[in-house]
Structure 1
């Protein structure tokens, strides 16, 4: 039955985008720009790889309420990755209207 899997389990999957090829920096910037254009608030979280399926990830700083700068978010993602080597780092966009996450994806994998 193991050969029937559509996706070989060579690495742990953490979210929907992890089943796709890795995003280029340009594509990642487009995803972040889309979230900002929708009025969603970007945030950054990180956690240990063994806890990646937990509901609790550590918040990096506060969410960037009202930011219009994709570059700021990309710089903070990089800063979080440098400060927390060996951890997963993910981008999250909070939707104020629906009061939920509008998008989330892992940017750096340990």
Structure 2
């Protein structure tokens, strides 16, 4: 299973130079950048843990790259992503989001079906990773 999340998710993993280019693009558009991480990457889980504070008024991507490296070192078995925010409409809008790290093993999701009244069937996605407690979800087997 290979989680598809954010921009560039169907491309090969971005190198650090490519990540720097994307951050440079975001900063060039005046978008503040933040780094987030999680061990529960469910498609509807949009609220990941914030690593540090969002970074405003940067000209170069180097401070963001340092924060990414620090987050990767602190959480080597978590998903890490970069978000760029566009506040031109008077509200916080995600302009760009992409993964910069994923765990070495992604166990995937199971599809659970339940039946309700009148033969109605409902489906839910449950990640196998959440069978383990937080912090131990992506341990190597």
The interval holding the TM-score normalised by the smaller chain is 0.7 to 0.9
Give the C-alpha shift of residue 65 in structure 1: 1.4
The structure richer in strand per residue is: 2
Mapped to 1, the partners of 2:6 and 2:61 lie a distance apart of: 22
Give 5+ residue unaligned stretches, structure 1. Answer: 1-9
The structure richer in helix per residue is: 1
How does the TM-score come out when normalised to structure 1? Answer: 0.83
Aligned residues: 100
| Counterpart position of 1:109 | 102
Give the C-alpha shift of residue 52 in structure 1: 4.1
Q: What does residue range 19-30 of structure 1 map to in structure 2 within 5 Å?
A: 19-30=10-21
| Counterpart position of 1:5 | none
- Say if 2:70 is the partner of 1:79: yes
- Say if 2:41 is the partner of 1:51: yes
| Counterpart position of 2:125 | none
Mapped to 2, the partners of 1:96 and 1:66 lie a distance apart of: 13
Does the 8 A contact of 1:29 with 1:74 survive in 2?
yes
Q: Which deviates more from structure 2 when the two are superposed, residues 79-88 or residues 10-19?
A: 10-19
Mapped to 1, the partners of 2:98 and 2:78 lie a distance apart of: 14
| Counterpart position of 1:34 | 25
Q: After TM superposition, which residue ranges in structure 1, 4 or more long, deviate above 4 angstroms?
A: none
| Counterpart position of 2:79 | 88
> Which protein has greater RCO, CA pairs closer than 8 Å, 6+ apart?
1
How does the TM-score come out when normalised to structure 2? Answer: 0.66
Give the C-alpha shift of residue 24 in structure 1: 2.1
